[in-house]
């Protein structure tokens, strides 16, 4: 589907096997590109599981569904994320939604609580997704998903995306989930030059 949309991906850096990717999020194309370049799996909110075609796509790459709005489910979500960490990278989008590409949204640290006890064993790798025409690609605001897909697929020309696999976090950046979240956001922001 990425090819149908005219997506051309270039990578910089090396994706680490078994890493927890912490990435910015602009479009559904992010998922196709990351899965295609690194075999990454994803953490997604449970609302996507209710949409037939989206659920099918998510199931194709072992997506972990979590419930965001139930406070008591955090421990179960942490257990799900920890269980999903394996040889393939697992991706979280800590903005918890897609942005417009002009700035990063605030990063939420809750999903990184799953990595907190594993921070010495599992590489926490920031990943910066940089589209040449971020504003034209981004899926944000009130645009319905189907309308966004039609708009992207109807575009003429290429969609250029650079995926920057940044250095995994180390040292003080691994102190706790808030430190990991702040360090990952800072690294991505620097890589995107925002």
**Could you read off the pLDDT tens digit of each residue along the chain, which spans 194 residues?**
566 667 899 999 999 988 999 999 999 899 889 999 999 988 876 666 566 666 677 677 777 777 766 555 556 666 776 677 778 898 999 998 888 888 999 999 887 877 776 667 789 999 999 999 888 888 888 888 788 888 888 888 899 999 999 999 999 998 899 999 999 999 999 999 86
Residue with tokens 């995107």: 192
Domain containing 83: what range? 7-192
Q: Is residue 1 part of a domain?
A: no
Q: Is residue 2 part of a domain?
A: no
Computed from CA positions of residues 151, 49, 69, 31, in that sequence, does the dihedral angle turn out positive or negative? Answer: negative
Q: Is residue 168 part of a domain?
A: yes
d(CA 62, CA 42): 7
Q: Phi/psi class of residue 140: alpha, beta or left (left: φ > 0; alpha: ψ in -120 to 50)?
A: beta
Domain count along the chain: 1
What is the pTM for the complete model shown?
0.88
- The CA-atom distances, in angstroms, between 25 and each of 71, 103, 117, 121, 185 are 24, 11, 25, 25, 12
Closest CA to 31 of 68, 4, 1: 1
């Amino acid at each position: 589907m990425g090819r149908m949309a005219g997506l051309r991906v270039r990578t910089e850096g090396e994706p680490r096997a078994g890493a927890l990717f912490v990435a910015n999020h602009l479009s559904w194309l992010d998922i196709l590109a990351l899965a295609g370049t690194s075999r990454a799996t994803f953490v997604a909110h449970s609302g996507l599981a209710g949409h037939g075609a989206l659920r099918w796509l998510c199931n194709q790459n072992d997506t972990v569904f979590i419930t965001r709005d139930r406070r008591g489910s955090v421990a179960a979500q942490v257990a799900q994320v920890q269980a999903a960490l394996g040889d393939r990278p697992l991706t979280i989008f800590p903005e918890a939604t897609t942005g417009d590409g002009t700035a990063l949204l605030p990063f939420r640290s809750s999903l990184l609580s799953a990595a907190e006890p594993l921070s010495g064993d599992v590489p926490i790798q920031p990943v910066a997704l940089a589209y040449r025409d971020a504003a034209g690609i981004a899926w944000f605001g009130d645009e319905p998903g189907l309308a966004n897909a039609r708009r992207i697929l109807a575009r003429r020309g290429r969609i250029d995306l650079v995926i920057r696999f940044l250095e995994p976090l180390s040292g003080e950046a691994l102190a706790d989930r808030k430190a990991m979240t702040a360090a990952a956001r800072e690294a991505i922001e620097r890589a995107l030059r925002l």
